Chain A
Amino acid sequence: MDPRVFLAVSACKLSIRLLRLTGRGGTAIPGKIALKICPDLLGRLARDVSCAIITGTNGKTTSARMAEEIYLRAGVPCFANRSGANLINGITSAFIENATLTGKPKKRHAVIECDEAASKAVCYLVDPAVVLVTNVFRDQLDRYGEVSGTLSNIYTGLKNAPNAVVCLNADCSLTASLADRIPNRVIFFGVDVPIYKNPVSEVSDAPYCIHCKHEYDYTYRTFGHLGGFYCPDCGYKRPEPQLAVTGILETGPASTRVRMRVFGEDLLVTVNLPGGYNIYNAAGAAALSEAAGFSRETAKAAIAGFSCGFGRMEAFDLGGKSARMILVKNPAGCNQVINYLSALDEKALFVCCLNDNSADGKDVSWIWDVNFETLSDIADRVPEILVAGIRAGDMAVRLKYAGFDETKLRVFDGDYDALITAMQAQPLPVVIMPTYTAMMALRAKMSAAFGGRDFWE
């Protein structure tokens, strides 16, 4: 055994313990320490692990949670980077936690969500058995630049995954275009029908053909640039998905029932999360399940029974008051949250928390690409909006220009204690929309005040 592996693994395990003793769940720092000691540690630890990688702009965490549940229900022990630490440091931490001090894996399967840019190195190191690409939308432009840059990162990742079965979103013209560029076996997943009756209007992140730059036409759209795209000029079009959602049967506040056709077999599937974007997450997870060779019944049961977490429609009990936390991080994702919220018919208190740390995106301009106007259309059901976070001022201005009366806006900046008190001091259920680091800070405060699981559990 290489002594560096032992040293790196033990240093990492020790720092994880120390961080947890002090109540902090920093999941990236231990991996960083380990990689300093042994730079090729991830590759070594992954050698005997069969790995499913989930990447793409939106839906990584939720799809990964669904996939993990499929493995568990299939009786295949697996580990995951569950707290969303999806850069190489965080992923290395997850592999170390799964390793003995000599670097042997305890569990031989992993479900790993992976940042798009990090997928280049991570795929190279872990040689995944499956890669799921959820979609490509505009994300934090300060980090990634344009969508074409994100796509090219994912492409490099796939080239570094020669042994993987690749699951691609057929409805995303950007993601689907990867299929022709790789030799791997590909499983396409998609949604054959529109999802919302009245979707919010939003700009398309990919209006022009990736091959010839002619404008796409659509036979139908689900949201954003997703749907039945085709290029009238060069003929590039949505590939026929082997795994398709063929009908949306019932949309409720807590779940959705859909019909799914999986390699010709029709299934009725309950997605144990509301929101149209979670239909895509379920289809992606089901495709991953096919790629990994699990039974359809197992996938169906897992998608119906999994519990989400970590700010993805996560439910909290604020001392007898229900709260839901929905992470927002880019226009496409946030518009889907708005679609979901505007379809609710009960009154609620909305809380927006906008931070601009690097994990949130340092450029907060994206809030102006979110259709908050749709929320102001249901203003009678929204008596008040609480605004907090480092960039609360910007968020408040956005809501003012979206049409909310200034008297309905209360600005808290970084004072989360006062924010939590205000959430409690009113009668309505609470819907919290935080960016990543705001979610982390708020979760910690709420767990401390009302109990609840720590995020690394």
Chain B
Amino acid sequence: MKLSICHLYPDVLNLYGDTGNILCLKKRLEWRGIGCEVTPLPIGAKADLARFDLFFIGGGQDFEQEVLLADLHGGKDRALRSAVEDEKVFLCICGGYQMMGQYYRTHTGEQLDFIGALDFHTVGSDLRMIGNYMFTCSEKNGASTVVGFENHSGKTFLGDGVSPLGKVVSGYGNNGEDGTEGARYKNVFGAYCHGPMLPKNPAFADLILQTALSRRYPGAALPQRDDSLERRAHDYMANRLARTN
């Protein structure tokens, strides 16, 4: 068995250690004897997206956003939308998450059109939503508790076509208002979770891998791993946030 992972825009969407997610996916496959090929797809590079099982998109700096949007609107947006509809698995963090939605409206009213693969939009605010945070995934997203660090000023509001990834236990989540965090549509998982997200949330990491594996190899299952070191890091933050809540 082998999974093909596409790391989209590693040259610009590489803030806050999010690439640790790629490392985590790769290692958790390798440790289980499952093959894994990671293909970086920087700005300007072309590839047939249909050959990938799993896509990762991280967060970036505002400075490079224009460069990125030009590349997206040069055709990648269409390819990504059809990959989404084709039930490919996506993990999208922060800026990469926002990018999957309809648009971003800055707090001065300027609108940046994103790829519109998912039914949500983001609105800029003066509030920086920053800090360690925790949310509980909904039942269909594995029901695990996820801890991480959020750092965004955009407020994301979900439309009818998507469901939240989970419910905020501590922190802000999508917008600091409705108690939701992240989005799930088909096999797309979006969240504001830096940290990076996957290494110290092994249950969620395995949910991503299992979803990709099941799509490619129906019936295949991931063997259990000893995650005591990962859980130790996870539990420390979960307990700390539970105490301060």
Q: Could you list which residues of chain A lie within 8 angstroms of chain B, going by C-beta atoms?
A: 138, 141-142, 146-148, 203, 207-208, 213, 362-369, 391, 393-394, 396-398, 400-401, 406, 409, 411
Q: B37 within 8 Å of A by Cβ?
A: no
Which chain A positions have C-beta within 8 A of B61? 146-148
Beyond the given A365-B20, A400-B229, please list 18 additional residue pairs across the A-B interface where CB-CB is below 8 A.
Answer: A138-B15, A148-B63, A203-B14, A207-B64, A213-B64, A363-B149, A364-B149, A365-B16, A365-B17, A368-B17, A368-B18, A368-B196, A391-B236, A397-B199, A397-B200, A397-B233, A398-B199, A401-B27
Cα distance A267–B20 when bound, in Å? 44
Within 8 A of A (CB), among B26-73: 27, 61-64, 66-67
Give every chain A residue within 8 A of B200 (Cβ-Cβ).
Answer: 393-394, 397
Contact indicator B194/A208 (Cβ below 8 Å)? no
**Alpha-carbon separation in the docked complex, A362 to B233 (Å):** 15
A207 B11 Cβ-Cβ under 8 A: yes
Distance of A76 Cα from B27 Cα, bound (Å): 57
Best-buried of A364, A368, A394 by chain B (most CB within 10 Å): A368
B24 at the interface (CB under 8 A from A): yes
Q: Does B207 contact A (CB under 8 A)?
A: no
B232 pairs with A411, CB closer than 8 A: yes
User: Do residues B63 and A365 form an inter-chain contact, with CB atoms below 8 A?
Assistant: no
Inter-subunit contact A397/B131 (CB<8 Å): no
Kindly count the residue-residue contacts between A and B in the assembled complex, taking CB atoms under 8 Å apart.
Answer: 91
The residue in chain A whose Cβ has the minimal distance to the Cβ of B21 is A368
Question: What sequence of 0s and 1s flags, for each residue 190-234 of chain B, a beta carbon within 8 Å of any chain A beta carbon?
Answer: 000011100110000000000000000000000000000110111
CA distance in complex: A147, B80 (Å): 30
For B229, what are the chain A residues with a Cβ–Cβ distance below 8 Å? Answer: 393, 396-397, 400, 406, 409, 411
A393, B236: Cβ atoms closer than 8 Å? yes
Q: Is B180 an interface residue (CB 8 A)?
A: no
Establish whether residues A401 and B199, one from each chain, have CB atoms under 8 Å apart when the complex forms: yes
Asked if B79 CB lies within 8 Å of chain A CBs, one says no
Does B145 have its Cβ within 8 Å of any Cβ on chain A?
no
**How many B residues face the partner with a CB closer than 8 A?**
35
Closest 9 A-B residue pairs measured CB to CB? Answer: A368-B17, A368-B20, A393-B233, A365-B17, A365-B16, A146-B61, A393-B232, A363-B149, A365-B194
B17–A366 touching, CB < 8 Å: yes
Give which listed residue, B10, B11, B16, B23, contacts A401 with CB less than 8 A: B23
Enumerate chain B residues within 8 angstroms of A393, measured Cβ to Cβ: 200, 229, 232-234, 236
Does more than half of chain B's interface fall in helix, strand or loop, or is it mixed? mixed
For the complex, give the distance between the alpha carbons of A19 and B232 in Å: 37
Cross-chain contact of A396 among B62, B63, B233 (Cβ < 8 A): B233
CB neighbours of B233 from chain A (8 A): 391, 393-394, 396-397
Inter-chain contacts of A363 with B (CB < 8 A): 16, 149, 151, 194
Distance, CA A407 to CA B10, complexed state (A): 32
How distant is B5 from chain A, measured CB to nearest CB, in Å?
Answer: 15
Interface contact B20-A401, CB-CB below 8 Å? yes
Taken together as a complex, chains A and B put the C-alpha atoms of A25 and B124 apart, in Å, by: 42
Give the complex CA separation of A125 and B69 in angstroms.
Answer: 42
Q: How far is the CA of A62 from the CA of B33 in the complex (A)?
A: 47
- B63/A208 in contact, CB under 8 A: yes
Report A-chain residues with C-beta under 8 Å of the C-beta of B234. Answer: 393
- Which of A141, A369, A397, A400 has most chain B Cβ within 10 Å? A397
Chain A residue with the shortest CB-CB distance to B24: A401
State which of B16, B67, B132, B199 has its C-beta within 8 Å of the C-beta of A208: B67
Q: Which residues of A contact B162 (CB under 8 A)?
A: none
- The verdict on B112 contacting chain A, using a C-beta distance below 8 Å, is no
| A368 CB, min distance to chain B CBs, angstroms | 3
Q: Across the interface, which residues of B come within 8 angstroms of A396, CB to CB?
A: 229, 232-233
- A148→B234 CA distance, assembly (Å): 32
Chain A residues in 8 Å Cβ range of B63: 146-148, 208, 213
Given the complex, which residues of B lie within 8 Å of A406, measured CB to CB?
A: 229
CB <8 Å contact, B17 and A367: yes
- List 10 A–B pairs whose Cβ atoms lie within 8 Å, in order of A's numbering: A147-B61, A364-B149, A364-B195, A367-B17, A368-B17, A397-B229, A400-B229, A401-B23, A411-B229, A411-B232
Q: Is the CB of B194 within 8 A of A362?
A: no
Q: Is B19 an interface residue (CB 8 A)?
A: yes
Cα–Cα, bound, A364→B195 (Å): 7
Asked if B123 CB lies within 8 Å of chain A CBs, one says no
Provide the bound-state CA to CA distance between A396 and B19, in Å: 17
| Cα–Cα, bound, A390→B236 (Å) | 9
Rounded to whole Å, the gap between the CB of A201 and the closest CB of chain B is 12
A residues in contact with B11, CB < 8 Å: 207
Q: Closest residue to B130 on the A side, CB-wise?
A: A142
Question: Given A146-B62, A207-B12, A208-B64, are A362 and B230 neighbors across the interface (CB < 8 Å)?
Answer: no
Distance in angstroms from B147 CB to nearest chain A CB is 10
| Pairwise interchain contact A369-B236, C-beta atoms closer than 8 A | no
Q: Quick one: given A142-B151, A147-B61, A394-B233, are A213 and B196 in contact (CB under 8 Å)?
A: no
- A364 contacts which chain B residues (CB < 8 A)? 149, 195
Nearest CB to that of A213 among chain B residues?
B67
Within 8 A of A (CB), among B87-134: 130-132
CA distance A147 to B60 in the complex (A): 11
Residues of B within 8 A of A138 (CB): 15
